[in-house]
Amino acid sequence: MTRLINAATLEASLIRNAAPTITGIMPANLFTFPGRFVAYEQDGGQQNDEITQARSELMRACTICSRTLAQAGIRLRVLVWRRCGALIMLYRPSTLEAHLAHPHAQKALTAFGYPKTSHEAKIDILAERLAICGQASEPVLAPRHPSGHVAVPSTCSDLDCARPTFPHEVGYFLGYPFADVDGFIRHKGQNFILLGPWKVYEDREGAERAFEQIRTSREQLKTRYRRGVGLEKLAVACA
């Protein structure tokens, strides 16, 4: 293992990478928790004791943090196991459900082949597509919610938008403005007018305000966390 894996390190990672969700600004965040969770091909590609332990420790940490976050209506899921980390999604189910239920998002996701069912079923499909974009030869398994498994390949690429198989519709799940998600897909990531947490294609001023709000909330959250305020209080205060 490359680093200590426990609830404390996962909490710190959540504060760094998922502040917009914790503070209620965005419906979801997607990030990589560093670690070796898939064997290298030169090692035979077989899951060994070290990897089994790493996965077990991260899932234990996820369980602990999930119990804390559940009180604020926030959910935590490991979507993909990778050689250089686990791809984790933190989201507010009620907010995400409402966002994806918007006619614009519904129409777009239906066109991309997503089911007209719950947001959890849509996340399952997203997880599979994020996995496929890794184009690894051997799939591994990450937990599917609420039960079962999703087959996912190993890769050290995190949100590698250059891959032709990358599911660019992920922007809908992360709460990006619909016009910017549509623009990114239409222009293949080029011709944007502003670059921040996402690429902007319309309403530059609105995006600048949103980026500043995200930056400010992240810094405030980090400051309060460093001062000893626990994740439970931080999340509940923003629920």
pLDDT for residue 236: 79
pLDDT band of 10, cuts 50, 70, 90: very high
pLDDT for residue 166: 85
> What pTM was estimated for this model as a whole?
0.83
pLDDT for residue 46: 57
The CA-based angle 162-167-170, given to 5 degrees, is 110
What is the pLDDT averaged over residues 224-235? 93
The pLDDT tens digits for 16-74 are: 999 999 999 999 999 999 988 887 654 555 567 888 899 999 999 999 999 999 999 99
User: Closest Cα partner for 78 from 25, 125, 143, 21?
Assistant: 143
State the amino acid at position 48 in one-letter form.
Answer: N
Checking if the pLDDT of 7 tops 60, the result is yes
pLDDT for residue 160: 55
For residue 6, how many C-alpha atoms fall within 13 Å in the half-sphere facing its CB? 2
pLDDT for residue 4: 86
Question: What average pLDDT does the chain have?
Answer: 85
pLDDT for residue 41: 56
The pLDDT tens digits for 79-108 are: 998 888 899 999 999 999 999 999 999 999
- Give the rounded percent of residues in the chain with a pLDDT score beyond 70: 82
Between CA 106 and CA 82 the distance in angstroms is 30
Between CA 55 and CA 91 the distance in angstroms is 21
- Other beta carbons less than 10 A from residue 58's beta carbon: 23
Q: Where are the alpha helices (DSSP H) in the chain?
A: 7-17, 19-22, 49-70, 93-100, 103-111, 119-132, 170-173, 178-187, 204-226, 231-238
